[in-house]
Amino acid sequence: MPTIFTRIIDGEIPGRFVWRDERCVVFLSIDPLAPGHALVVPIAEVDHWLDLEPELVAHLSIVAQAVGQAQQEAFSPARVGLLVAGFDVPHVHLHVVPIRDMGELDFANVAHDVPAEQMEASAEVMRTALRAAGHPETTDS
């Protein structure tokens, strides 16, 4: 049975994508820790990041850094946090989160039911920053 992330990648479930290449996608979290909270997800279904091929780990890290730089430009946070937890969905995903302090990386503080307009606005400013940085992998939706 495909994971919820595979279903999002395949278009069965909607997602707010900001990046797509041959190895991974990036879409916004539906329960963000902060505006712009993005998930870097390999297309291949792998449960634990330790089981990824080293080349894919490197690629995901490069993409996460590009997304973090776009978040820095778009949201002007004090830092951009990067987390790999893996408990909620059995499909590797890197959380890239613009933050003002460490407390914002606590999953007890996720925002539920963020209005669609706010989510789309966050995605669009990230897409704009990614395009401005020269990333052709930037998606339109």
Residues 37, 59, 91, 93: which is the catalytic one? 93
- Of 49, 47, 56, 66, which is closest to residue 22 (Cα–Cα)? 56
Encoded amino acid at 124, one letter:
E
Given a contact cutoff of 8 angstroms between Cβ atoms, the answer to whether 75 and 97 are in contact is no
Given a contact cutoff of 8 angstroms between Cβ atoms, the answer to whether 38 and 27 are in contact is yes
Q: Beta-carbon neighbour count of residue 104 at 10 Å?
A: 17
93 an active-site residue? yes
Q: Beta-carbon neighbour count of residue 12 at 10 Å?
A: 11
Known catalytic residues are 93
